[in-house]
Amino acid sequence: MGLEMNINELPLPHIRQAAENIEVTAAMARFYAELEQRLAVHQPQCHNRGLCCKFGTYGHRLYVTALELAYFIAHHRTELSQADGSGGTVNLLEMYTSPESRNCPFQQGGLCTTRAGRSMGCRVFFCSAEGESWPAEISEWGLQQLRTLHHRFAVPYVYVEWLTALAALRKDSGFTAGELDKN
């Protein structure tokens, strides 16, 4: 699958089903836990407080797979309920920005407001690791793990740009604000 996939090719029904499957979310949680362990070995530091989440000005893009999107969907309700700092529910649709803005809408005040559901790319990128080889090595390991999980759960493997994926989720009729607000 090419990187610049048509968003109409995004397997949204598979992604929504996977988000409801506790075996999928448990397997993804184990994957992220091992990923975090591998990262912790290198004791990476974050210095730029979210500047890398402003893709346009930072000059890079974030890509995610279908199961990472499913895990994000499975987690964002709780994350968003805390995102405004008051414990109230935040409407995800209001948080979306247009792809043209090139900023991740979940970066607020230098902090990620969906940390538990964030993708591998968000977890592996550290400005302190610039020029080091381990981020690429861990990403390669992670993508292999993710391919295996997609095969195991019969979810089509796609690798899509994050803001493009968010735009597709926004347009998807099965992913409405009312559904998002359920807790």
| 138 belongs to the binding site for ligand SF4 (CB under 6 A) | no
Task: Look at the block and give the residue holding tokens 């359920």.
Answer: 182
Nearer to ligand SF4, 75 or 150 (CB): 75
- We find the least distance from the C-beta atom of residue 91 to ligand SF4, in angstroms, to be 17
Nearer to ligand SF4, 28 or 112 (CB): 112
| 74 belongs to the binding site for ligand SF4 (CB under 6 A) | no
Interface residues for ligand SF4 in 83-112 (CB under 6 A)?
A: 104, 106-107, 112
Backbone phi, psi, residue 138, to 5°? -70, -40
| 164 belongs to the binding site for ligand SF4 (CB under 6 A) | no
Could you tell me where the beta strands, DSSP code E, fall in the chain?
A: 63-65, 107-108, 111-112, 159-161
Nearer to ligand SF4, 24 or 161 (CB): 161
Q: Which residue type occupies 37?
A: Q
| Whether the Cβ atoms of residue 166 and residue 16 lie closer than 8 Å to each other | no
Backbone phi, psi, residue 63, to 5°? -120, 145
| 53 belongs to the binding site for ligand SF4 (CB under 6 A) | yes
* Chosen residue from 35, 62, 95, 124 binding ligand SF4 by CB under 6 A: 62
The CA distance from 28 to 32, in Å, is 6
- How many residues at the interface with ligand SF4, by CB under 6 A? 9
* Chosen residue from 28, 64, 69, 122 binding ligand SF4 by CB under 6 A: 122
| 114 belongs to the binding site for ligand SF4 (CB under 6 A) | yes
Task: Look at the block and give the residue holding tokens 């000005």.
Answer: 57
Q: Which residues does 165 contact at the CB level (< 8 Å), separation at least 6?
A: 7, 10, 64, 69
| Whether the Cβ atoms of residue 50 and residue 106 lie closer than 8 Å to each other | no
| Interface with ligand SF4 (CB under 6 A) | 53, 62, 104, 106-107, 112, 114, 118, 122
